[in-house]
Amino acid sequence: MENLGIVITTLGVLLLLGLAGDLLARRIPVPRVTLLILFGVLIGPSALALLPVQAEAWYPLISNMALLMVGFLLGGKLSLANLREVGRLVLGISVFKVVGASLLVFLGLLAVGVPLPLALVMAGIAPASAPAAVTNVVEETRAEGRYTETMLGIVAIDDAWGLILFSLLLAVAQVLAAGGDGGALAALQYGGWEVGGALVLGLAVGIPAAYLTGRLNPGQPIQAEALGVVLLAGGLALWLEVSYLLTALVVGATVVNLASHHERPFHEIEHIEWPFMILFFLLAGASLHVAELAHLGWAGAAYIAMRAAGLILGAFVGGSVLGAEARIRRWMGLAVMPQAGVALGMALVAHNALPGLNGTILPLVVGSTVVFELVGPILTRWALERAGEAGKAPEAS
């Protein structure tokens, strides 16, 4: 009973801390995501170490649930109507941005003397984004418009492209590191299952969910149904070892395009998402080891600089080729700068797949994540303001 009391008390304090961060963010020009992560760092082992030891075990569950909701809501942005309006831009800029970040990181790391297998792995991790941080800044700033819809569409599919590219580059890295003993085929099979399995599972859950939603009368409570579908999809994805983020995204995209009352399940998830996001960002901050920044060195500096340059240049070139308006070309790369959980997940996969490099991959990714997760949301907010869409959405009732 004592342990249960500690757990419940800690969760209550964390939610109130999230409220404090929300109130503070309204008074200073810093996104609440960044404030929550900073609060997490402050109460975590890197600073005051105020969290109970049990808190370390909570992060996987809370982060998975939060990212499932984010994936589902991002999938809801991929309606055929939205894609017809911004789909060409979303797909084109996303591809250019992914290729730009990956290519510049690869060349930059080689230039500072990083071994070829490590450069390939980090190039595969570079395009991964943090959709939770980006969407939260959009909600906080009440951004709305063509630029915002394009940005949300890009972060919705970035990790799908990123998973495919990462799987291919990890396979090549394994060939170089292990001499082609079958590891490449195993990596390709894993990547194919991770992405292909997520697509199939998302459709398998999303089609019945869309049918059920369409049978409900308007106004009927569907919060339990919506949350149940999201958790079912995520649980099956984790059990089958496919991408749970991509699975949730496909479920959301399927529901938004097939259900006759498609908007209601997304509203229900939006109503319950924020408490999970508070816990997610606070515990994410607490899990960051700021001391890892000391181990970045030239490789870390090159990774951070080249990833940022690749995102900005890729978005600019892609937008120029596709004839996007100037504000999309100029500010899209900055807006999608945050990087967090997906990159760490890729790093763990590479850590296990390449034993000879497992002492280097995690420090590089963890250290750079501290930078991108703290600075990224600030850049997202600034880009939305420069694009002229912050504050355009109506106040929530």
Q: What is the DSSP letter of 291?
A: G
Which of 4-18, 40-54, 212-226, 320-334 shows the lowest mean pLDDT across its residues?
212-226
195-224 residue pLDDT tens: 788 889 999 999 998 887 755 555 444 677
| 261 pLDDT tier (thresholds 50, 70, 90) | low
Give the whole-angstrom CA distance, residue 132 versus residue 28.
21
Residue 200's pLDDT is what? 93
Give the whole-angstrom CA distance, residue 361 versus residue 340.
15
Query: How far is the first Cα of the chain from the last one, in angstroms, to the nearest whole number?
Result: 39
User: Is this structure's pTM higher than 0.75?
Assistant: no
Average pLDDT, the chain: 79
Q: Of 43 and 217, which is predicted with more confidence? A: 43
Cα dihedral across residues 324, 329, 331, 332: positive or negative: positive
Distances (CA, A) of 62 to 1, 5, 56, 389: 22, 19, 11, 31
Q: Got the DSSP string for 10-63? A: HHHHHHHHHHHHHHHHTTSSS-HHHHHHHHHHHHSTTTT--S-TTHHHHHHHHH
Does the pLDDT value for residue 397 go beyond 50?
no
Residue 68's pLDDT is what? 83
268-304 residue pLDDT tens: 776 777 788 788 778 877 776 666 656 667 888 899 9
What is the CATH topology of the domain spanning 2-386? Na+/H+ antiporter like fold (1.20.1530)
Q: Of 317 and 144, which is predicted with more confidence? A: 317
Percent of all residues in the chain with a pLDDT value above 70, rounded to a whole number? 79
Q: Of 216 and 87, which is predicted with more confidence? A: 87
Average pLDDT value for residue range 101-129: 89
Cα dihedral across residues 209, 215, 219, 224: positive or negative: negative
Look at the block and give the residue holding tokens 């749970």: 244
Give the CA radius of gyration of the chain. Answer: 20
Q: Cβ neighbours of residue 33 under 8 Å, at least 6 residues apart?
A: 133, 136, 137, 140, 281, 338, 377
CB–CB of 212/206 below 8 Å?
A: no
Does the pLDDT value for residue 337 go beyond 60?
yes
338-389 residue pLDDT tens: 886 677 667 766 776 677 776 677 677 777 877 887 788 889 989 988 888 8
Residue 183's pLDDT is what? 52
